[in-house]
Amino acid sequence: MPVKSRVVVQANDFSAQDEARLLTEGRKDVGALVTFIGLCRDEAGTLSALELEHYPGMAEAELTRIAEEAIERWPLTGLTVIHRFGKIPPGENIVLVIAASSHRRAAFEAADFLMDYLKTRAPFWKKEHLVSGGASEWVEARDCDDKDAARWT
């Protein structure tokens, strides 16, 4: 049975538990489920919200390409990627990656790969809104994210 990924870009929050159930319900071949949830940090109390912008259509297409690459690399039984956009306050969910496989190693590696590539290849832009009311600033890409992604090439 070919493995399909579920890729969603949405403003609304998500339930990791509900998404995990969708990947495992009625399946006897899933032996491992690795879940990563990225949350909005408060940056030592200075951040009121992180605003994520994207190009509709382009973001979904790139996330789907990254997910398909993971499916080609590892023997997965399922894969879910959900990325939010809009203003997200500290403590709320931003991104969800769930990799399902028969064995743990494939699920761990696929989830790690996906997050590294989402950080560097997904067309999202982040703007920090400050509690102080000061000027909002765009978040620059970090060199360490590129280094993390380079290990998969």
Q: Classify residue 67 as exposed, middle or buried by CB count within 10 Å of its CB (0-12, 13-18, 19+).
A: buried
Which residue segment(s) compose the domain that 20 sits in? 5-150
Tokens of 61: 């297409």
Residue 1 has pLDDT above 70, yes or no: no
**pLDDT over 90 percentage in the chain:** 90
pLDDT in tens, 98-131: 999 999 999 999 999 999 999 999 999 999 999 9
Residue 151 has pLDDT above 90, yes or no: yes
Radius of gyration of the chain (CA): 16
pLDDT in tens, 53-62: 999 999 999 9
Tokens of 142: 């970090």
| Cβ neighbours, 10 Å, residue 96 | 21
Residue 130 to residue 13: CA distance in whole angstroms = 22
> Structurally, how many domains does the chain consist of?
1
Tokens of 77: 């039984």
pLDDT in tens, 15-72: 999 999 999 999 999 999 999 999 999 999 999 999 999 999 999 999 999 999 999 9
Q: Please, which residues bridge with residue 87 across strands? A: 51
| Cβ neighbours, 10 Å, residue 71 | 18
Residue 68 to residue 136: CA distance in whole angstroms = 35
CATH classification of the domain holding 126: 3.90.1170.40
Instruction: Over range 136-152, report the average pLDDT.
Output: 90
HEC secondary structure over the chain = CCCCEEEEEECCCCCHHHHHHHHHCCCCCCCEEEEEEEECCCCCCCEEEEEEEECCCHHHHHHHHHHHHHHHHCCEEEEEEEEECEEECCCCEEEEEEEEECCHHHHHHHHHHHHHHHHHHCCEEEEEEECCCCCCEECCCCHHHHHHHHCCC
